């Protein structure tokens, strides 16, 4: 039981809570200050993704629960930001839908693999995808006009298109790694 309540797993749990706070903040009428607070909450949540993995590896306290919940917490955070940016006319709904569908499919694949006793940790490509998603979404949440960077949200949207390509690419990569599980499970 003590292994479950370690620092990395608590940070993963915090990411779920911060995603809920982000959803609440972004559902309010956005002011510059509220957008900045939303960006700050999102940034802290995104940082916990790196910190929990680093601490787990450094102190060798990786758990099966952590390997399963960490990617799910990432997906919840990304889904929250994507969905909340749609009504703000910052992210096209179709783009959010494609990314979210991939995330749900991969979560399902991981669930099938886990039921077969196979835990699939995030790949290097998946980690790069997550970093680009976090940077692009953080840029899109950050209020325009605070920094003297012209077209900040356009830059963020372009980065999100890069994240889309990486999202699809890493999705195919996961599927190819897990196709053996699928074909064995269907026999």
DSSP string, 48-77: HHHHHHHHHHHTT---HHHHHHHHHHHHHH
pTM over 0.75, yes/no: yes
User: CB of 8 within 8 A of CB of 53?
Assistant: yes
- Residue 143: phi and psi, rounded to 5, are -70, 135
pLDDT of residue 161: 98
- pLDDT tens, per residue, the chain with 187 residues: 457 889 999 999 999 999 999 999 999 999 999 999 999 999 999 999 999 988 988 998 888 788 778 888 999 999 999 999 999 999 999 999 999 999 899 888 877 777 777 767 667 888 899 999 999 999 999 999 888 889 999 999 999 999 999 999 999 988 887 777 666 655 5
Q: What pLDDT does 68 receive?
A: 79
Distance CA 82, CA 99 (A): 9
Q: How many CB atoms lie within 10 A of CB 114?
A: 15
- The torsion of the CA quartet 108, 109, 115, 116, rounded to 10 degrees, works out to 170
Q: What domains sit in the chain, N to C, each tagged with a CATH number?
A: 7-186 (1.20.120.1760)
Beta strands in 54-187 (DSSP E): none
């Amino acid at each position: 039981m003590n292994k479950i309540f370690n620092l990395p797993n608590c940070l993963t749990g915090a990411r779920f809570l911060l995603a809920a706070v982000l959803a609440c903040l972004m559902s309010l009428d956005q002011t510059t200050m509220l957008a900045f607070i939303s960006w700050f909450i999102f940034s802290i949540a995104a940082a916990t993704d790196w910190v929990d993995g680093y601490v787990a590896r450094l102190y060798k306290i990786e758990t099966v629960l952590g390997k399963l919940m960490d990617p799910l917490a990432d997906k919840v955070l990304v889904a929250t930001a994507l969905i909340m940016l749609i009504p703000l006319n910052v992210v096209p709904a179709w783009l959010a839908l494609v990314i979210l569908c991939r995330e749900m499919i991969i979560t399902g694949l991981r669930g099938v693999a886990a039921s077969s006793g196979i835990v699939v940790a995030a790949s290097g490509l998946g980690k790069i995808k997550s970093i680009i998603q976090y940077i692009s979404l953080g840029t899109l949440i950050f209020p325009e006009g605070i920094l003297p960077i012209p077209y900040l949200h356009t830059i963020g949207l372009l980065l999100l298109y890069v994240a889309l390509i990486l999202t699809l690419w890493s999705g195919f990569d996961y599927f190819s790694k897990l196709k053996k599980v699928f074909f064995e499970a269907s026999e």
